[in-house]
Structure formats: structure tokens, C-alpha cells
Amino acid sequence: MKASLLLVLVCTAVLAAGARADAPREPEALVRRVQEYAQKASAMAKTAFSSVQESEAAQQARRWLEDTADLAKQRLAWLKEQLTELWKQRPAA
């Protein structure tokens, strides 16, 4: 949703810069305005993503993922042990 909002803002900035261009012989001014709008939109997006990453919910999600990954590693190690024991007990054919 935020990516689509950013895309809408950039498109609006391009259209607004095009509408503000007084004459077609001023492409440098148009390019400069589009670059300024893109830089502002980029800064806003970075700020939004930073605030999301630093949020309490994101921190809780990271902790949960770490805990779940540790549990999955433990279960995988247990499964490997069980399969190894089963393989050792298998009679030779």
C-alpha cells in the first residue's frame, strides 16, 4: 500500500511539474523539479520505512522469528538424530 502511495505521489509530482513548466524550452527546469519531488518522496519513504522497522510490532515480530528459527533448528537436529539412529538399526541387506 505504501509503495502504491509513493508511486501516486511521484506520478502526481511529474504531472504537476509538467503543468508548471512555462514553455517547452525549459526541460532543465522540469527535470530539476521532478528530481526535487523524487528526492522528497524518497526521503519520506525512507522515514516511513525506518519508523516501521523501529516500531514495537516490528521488534516483536523479529524476536518471534528468531525464537521460531531456534525452535526449528532444534527440531531439525532432533530429527537428524532420530534418522541417524534409525539408519544404524537398519539391518544390512
Between CA 38 and CA 11 the distance in angstroms is 10
Q: What is the pLDDT of residue 83?
A: 93
Between CA 42 and CA 22 the distance in angstroms is 26
Q: What is the pLDDT of residue 80?
A: 95
Q: What is the pLDDT of residue 79?
A: 96
H-helix or E-strand containing 90?
A: none
Whether 36 and 9 have beta carbons less than 8 Å apart is answered as no
pLDDT digits (tens), the chain, 93 positions? 566 776 777 777 777 766 665 455 677 888 888 899 889 988 888 888 888 778 888 888 889 999 999 999 999 999 999 999 988 887 765
Q: What is the pLDDT of residue 55?
A: 84
Q: What is the pLDDT of residue 68?
A: 94
